[in-house]
A and B are shown apart, each in its own frame.
Chain A
Amino acid sequence: MKLRKLAKMAIENRIEHSFVIKGKDFGNAGNVSTKIKDLLKEIGIPPSIIRRVAIATYEAEMNVVMYANHGTLNFALTPQKIEIVVDDRGPGIEDIELAMQEGYSTATEEMREMGFGAGMGLPNIKKNSDEFEITSEVNKGTKLRIVIYLDSKNE
């Protein structure tokens, strides 16, 4: 009985949002991370954490826009942590270890001209998250799981 009550509370105290990201849609690129940022501000999450979430979601969103055909970003917030799962259908990453190296990029010349493709995307996401997982299958897609803990002092 007590357990069920606890489980119910945990479900209630959780916000979830699912966003669709279109590949090559540069016009709307960045909208998802802006929406998440605004939501976190309204909740009253500390600025230092918002900044980390903003950078991680923006880079992840841009990766989908630049390389994949289609992707979803699932966002969940509880009083303890923020969890972001980005799942895309796209070319996938052949060598994850290489892709995680700073400065490594497969961006085209056009993308570089737009100011992307500095090879900092994935390393930047990792740097800003507390838990980071990446799985990928060539010609299928890539999945990222990012967790950022909230400061327990805020409770």
Chain B
Amino acid sequence: MNKYYHSIYINEKKCEGRMRCMRVCPTQAIRVRNGKAIILEERCIDCGECINACPNNAIMPLTDPFTTISKFKYTMAIPSPALYAQFGREILPDKVLEGLRRIGFNDAYDVAQSCGEVSFAIQEYLREYRGPKPLILSSCPPVVRLIQVKYPELIDLIMPIETPREVAGKEIKERKSKELGLKKEDIGAIYLTPCPAKMISIRQPAEGGKSHLDGAISIKDIYAPLLSAMESLSKSDYKSSLESLCILGIGWAIAGGISKTLRLRNSLAVSGLRNVVRVLDDIENGKLKNIDFLEAYSCLEGCVGGSLTVENVYISYNKIFQLIEDLELRKIKACPDIREVRRKFKQNYYFRKEKISPRPLKPLDTYISKAILKMKEKDEIYESLPKIDCGACGSPTCETFAEDVVKGEAKITDCIFKVPERFEEISKELIELLRKSPYQRLGIEKEEQ
């Protein structure tokens, strides 16, 4: 049954079927059946919109608990660059990494370094690329899944470059197993995530295969202990200069950051799933061919807008933006050696091993001629509905309801506007039954007498 693993689950006890989740879901993956919300596995792309919409907090992200770090002999924290944006402007990444070491991780890895490498790899790839455009960034899991589900014909536009978090996981395991003489499986590479979607990209990568990471902890869950650990640090514990910051890597936290720091002029950044949908529609219509590179993020303003972050998205966006400006102004480029990246690029080090394949939604029928008949039936049902998308039937719109009826997943009488009609039918049947009953016959006979 569970063909697709999801990073979102609904707590049935807390769910009161209030339908907020059903209305915000951009892929119409939620239905309310018997008063409880359910997720349609094949439609869900793990964007997490429903988590924020639920007034009962009944929808939970399935990230790993903090205790997961004790499962390994040696545990590395790999924080998303969005973590750096969660604290005041004076707190620099070095302090955050030191704080992580104090709260129980054996070490913390600055993923901005891997981000920088991947930025360079993107640049290299774009330089040689001559195929259809625009190429789409592959690091946001819901965007990749949205393309798999709803835009299968755009699948080849997804960049074949591995995400920075996977590159980091691969590198850490190789380096640390040599340094410490441990087996790779004894080293836990734990991602600190701003969104639940990264969790599924670890448990079930879109392209199949196996992730280099071992788990993901929500930024929300480590925020409090990390903050107090950082407060008890003294100045000598960490470096407090900008010198070791990779400007390219920091850029990954915000929408448009990669293009800005790489100075890719012919690129576009779009954030928020609904906006992404609009741009993908345009690409499907054959537009935007003159754009080289599209940065697309499911969360508003990029990863800093993730549903598992703490700080207000505009404040965290601004912090990252200012950091980039400062680094640019002071010409600090503590980024990976581009010659080294080029060498590894030529050896295909940064390429994804498996190809991402489409997972289009099940059509109305496997045979086109039958599907056409079902479509006509659906249109007829839809025409008979009030078209006000009230949701009382448990489907998000009248159109999806018509589809659910045709597919046999809902009954036409689930529509409350169909109830009077149904009553009429039932009452006619009742009168008919009464007429046939001995009681009624007796009554009629009495009247006649």
A residues within 8 Å of B by Cβ? Answer: 12-15, 30, 33-34, 37, 39, 41-45, 47-48, 50-51, 54-55, 58-59, 77-79, 115, 124, 150, 154-155
- Decide: A44 and B153 in contact? CB cutoff 8 A: no
Tell me how far the C-beta of B131 lies from the nearest C-beta in chain A, rounded to whole angstroms: 15
Nearest CB of chain B from residue A46's CB, rounded to whole Å: 9
Instruction: Write out the residue numbers on chain A whose beta carbons fall within 8 Å of the beta carbon of B371.
Output: 42-44
Residues of B112-160 at the interface with A, using a CB-CB cut-off of 8 Å, are: 150, 152-153
Nearest A-chain residue to B152, judged by Cβ: A47
Q: Is the CB of A155 within 8 A of B372?
A: no
Interchain CB contact under 8 A, A51 and B153: yes
- Can you report 24 A-B residue pairs in the complex whose CB atoms are below 8 A from each other? A13-B373, A14-B372, A15-B375, A30-B282, A34-B285, A37-B284, A41-B150, A41-B363, A42-B363, A42-B364, A43-B368, A44-B364, A45-B368, A51-B153, A51-B284, A54-B284, A55-B285, A58-B287, A78-B372, A115-B287, A124-B286, A150-B368, A155-B367, A155-B368
The reply on B369 being an interface residue by CB < 8 A is yes
- Closest A residue by C-beta to B150: A41
From DSSP, what is the main secondary structure of chain B's interface residues?
A: helix
The residues of B that contact A14 with a CB separation of less than 8 Å are: 372
A44 and B368 form a contact (CB under 8 A): yes
Closest to B361 in A: A41
Which of A33, A43, A78 sits near B285, CB closer than 8 Å? Answer: A33
Q: Is the CB of B369 within 8 A of A39?
A: no
Cα of A79 to Cα of B372 in the assembled complex, Å: 8
Residue-by-residue, is B339-365 near A (CB-CB < 8 Å gives 1, otherwise 0)?
A: 000000000000000000010110111
Knowing A47-B153, A51-B153, A124-B286 are in contact, say whether A155-B376 is a contact too (CB < 8 A): no
Cα(A30)–Cα(B366), bound, Å: 28
Q: Which residues does chain A contribute within 8 Å of B372, judged by CB atoms? A: 13-15, 43, 77-79
Which residues in A have their C-beta under 8 angstroms from that of B363? Answer: 41-44
Residue B403 at the chain A interface, CB threshold 8 Å:
yes
Contact residues in A for B369 (Cβ distance below 8 Å): 13, 79, 155
Question: Roughly how many angstroms separate A15 CA and B372 CA in the complex, as a whole number?
Answer: 7
CB closest residue in chain A, given B366: A44
Q: Which residues of A contact B361 (CB under 8 A)?
A: 41-42
Distance A115 CA – B284 CA, assembled complex (angstroms): 16
Q: A154 near B368 (CB under 8 angstroms)? A: yes
Q: Give the contacts of B258-310 with A (CB-CB under 8 A).
A: 281-282, 284-287
**Neighbouring B residues of A41 by C-beta, 8 Å:** 150, 360-361, 363
8 closest cross-chain pairs (CB), A and B: A44-B363, A47-B153, A58-B285, A79-B369, A55-B286, A43-B371, A51-B153, A47-B152
Give the residues in chain A near B373, CB-CB below 8 Å: 12-13
- CA–CA, A42 to B360, complex, Å? 10
In whole angstroms, what is the CA distance A15 to B378 when docked?
A: 11
Please give, as numbers and ranges, the residues of chain B lying within 8 Å of A30 by CB-CB distance. 281-282, 285
Contacting pair B286 A54 (CB below 8 A): yes
Q: Contact partner of A34 among B281, B358, B379, B403, CB < 8 A? A: B281
Given the interface pairs A78-B372, A79-B368, the reply to whether A47 lies near B286 with Cβ below 8 Å is no
A34-B285, A78-B372 are known contacts; what are 11 more A-B pairs with Cβ within 8 Å? A12-B373, A12-B376, A14-B372, A34-B281, A39-B375, A42-B361, A42-B375, A47-B360, A51-B284, A79-B369, A115-B287
Closest-CB distance, B361 to chain A (whole angstroms): 7
Contact digits for B367-390, partner A, Cβ 8 Å, 1 yes 0 no:
111011101100100000000000
Minimum Cβ distance to chain B for residue A136 (Å): 23
Task: Quote the shortest CB–CB distance from A75 to chain B (angstroms).
Answer: 12
Q: Complex: how many Å from CA A33 to CA B376?
A: 19
Give A50 to B152 CA distance when docked, in angstroms.
Answer: 10
Among A33, A42, A50, A79, residue most surrounded by chain B Cβ atoms (within 10 Å): A42
